[in-house]
Structure 1
Amino acid sequence: MERTRAALAQPIFHYRSSGGEAEEAVRWRFQVSHECRGIFVFRSVRLDKQPILVHETEQLVNFACRLPISRRWKRFGDGTERSGAKKEHMMTASEGSARIQFKVLRGFPAIGDSTDKLETQAFLTASKEIVTVIESFGKLFTPVISDMNGNINKLTKAYGADVVKYQYLEDLIVLNVNVDDFAANALLWLKRGLQLICTFFENIYNDAQAKEALKQHLQDAYERTLKPYHGFIVQSTIKIIYSWVPTRSQLLGQGDAQAENIEVLTSFLPRMRAHLDSIDALLKAHNLDDARKV
């Protein structure tokens, strides 16, 4: 059946980077020929960018019409079974293998006490590993991945200006207070993204019932970490992601594989949390914890 041009049924949310380049739409409705209506979800949220509301995007409309029917689903967020796109995204529990193997990650190094400085290179390396963990969540999390990678790259650039002078993360920030907030702002948003992931896995670890569905754990982590810094529109778009987080078995595996992951998290998460608490204290001590919403 020939597909016709999509007809917009609601506004499109766009996100613009600092350079003014429009990113992909969050959500919009279209009609494909005479078959049915559907909702497409594209890469959505930049954690540190202000969304811009627009009403027409011809390029995205044409793009949707070129997609095969198998790539769309009829209803979103109401428990109705999705089509091929959702099934391709998910790994069935019967496959048994874990998307994440925490034992292969070096993780964040142990901190001796609260006075210990954090090594910049070690922190950046561990942060990159966390990004690979998020990649296992699926393609819908691409904007989160891109945002965190962007902030890691900014910090890497600042660190590279003088690797001896900025051996420790505290020096990278403190020595540039009132001079340049480039690194501090990148660290602030990277910390918030890492707090989201750390809290999410802490929720999973502390779930005595070991529930398969992880939507509530992710939602709780978001509300406790990033939500206070997001405006209404960004908060609304984040809700789309909740329904797409993989299950416990998909992320951590089953049986021995899951037990092994949980065992590694016993030491992995406290070290990660210690780093984030140290960074949080550092930023607050120098009034760099900007609480403005985006």
Structure 2
Amino acid sequence: MKAAADVSTDTKIWKKREVQERDEKKVWSEIKLAIEELSLGSNEGDFSTLAFLGLSNLLLQVLDKIGPTMAVLRLDIQRNIERLEENNASDPSKHPTLTGIVEKEVREGTARKAESCARAILWLTRSMDFSLALLEILEKDPELSLQQVVEEAYNSTLKPWHGWISSAAFKIALKLIPERKIFTSFIMGKGQDYSMLKDEIHKLVPLLRPLLDEIHCLMKKFRLDRLKST
């Protein structure tokens, strides 16, 4: 009886801790959540599809903080996330990693098609390049307006791969960028100040950059790295 009681007590303690951890995460910033996601997946070698989708959804939430001006990019990211989610839902055990998905489509000759998962991975990675560059510039140059930060990040990441339609849409979006202070207040976790936000960005960069570089190398290996949009 005593042993059963001990197990019951341990279970209650474990559940209580689980609830406390869940409540704590509710006030975390998307950046801090991304840091945890990356830390958990850093020892897997080949990053899992589910972890990649988790990061992509966090990226979507960061862009939402900029406002409706990012609607075009946000919609593109959402579609790519949904494509990978549908592929994963069909058979989650068959291709649990990004490499497995890309290699399968390359073998089948479908990797370059407009609705391929390989393209979805490529564009989600480029969108993360953009978001990471945005955060880095935001942290390094406090004198720039948010419009300047977004434009600089876009020029160095997404612009080389956008056709004239996408580039024109982005130019229009730049005119509706909110003030820098408004955006930074939105991306902070509850109770954070700007110095804490900067610290989180410093932690995120060395965790996320190697993953993005690894995916770009994967795309280059199969000559998918030069694909552009309209």
Bigger mean CA offset, 141-150 vs 223-232: 223-232
Which protein is bigger by CA-based radius of gyration?
1
- Tell me the equivalent position of 1:168: 97
- Tell me the equivalent position of 1:257: 193
Q: String of CA shifts for 1:254-286, please: whole Å, max 9, x gaps.
A: 996211111111112322222211111111111
- Tell me the equivalent position of 1:195: 129
TM-score by length of 2: 0.74
Inter-CA distance 246–272: structure 2 relative to 1 (3 Å threshold): farther
Q: Does 1:230 align with 2:162?
A: yes
Which 5+ residue runs of structure 1 have no aligned equivalent?
1-99
The answer to whether the Cα contact below 8 Å between 2:132 and 2:205 also exists between their aligned partners in 1 is: yes
Q: String of CA shifts for 1:14-73, please: whole Å, max 9, x gaps.
A: xxxxxxxxxxxxxxxxxxxxxxxxxxxxxxxxxxxxxxxxxxxxxxxxxxxxxxxxxxxx
The answer to whether the Cα contact below 8 Å between 1:193 and 1:226 also exists between their aligned partners in 2 is: yes
Aligned-residue CA RMSD (Å): 2.4
Aligned positions of 1:1-294 closer than 5 A: 101-102=29-30, 105-107=33-35, 108-110=37-39, 112=42, 116-179=45-108, 180-181=110-111, 182-207=116-141, 210-211=142-143, 213-253=145-185, 257-294=193-230
Structure richer in strand, relative to its length: 1
Q: Which runs of 4+ in 1 moved over 6 A?
A: none
TM-score by length of 1: 0.59
The answer to whether the Cα contact below 8 Å between 1:159 and 1:172 also exists between their aligned partners in 2 is: no
CA distance in 1, matches of 2:30, 2:179: 16
Inter-CA distance 246–112: structure 2 relative to 1 (3 Å threshold): same
The answer to whether the Cα contact below 8 Å between 1:211 and 1:248 also exists between their aligned partners in 2 is: no
CA distance in 2, matches of 1:273, 1:106: 12
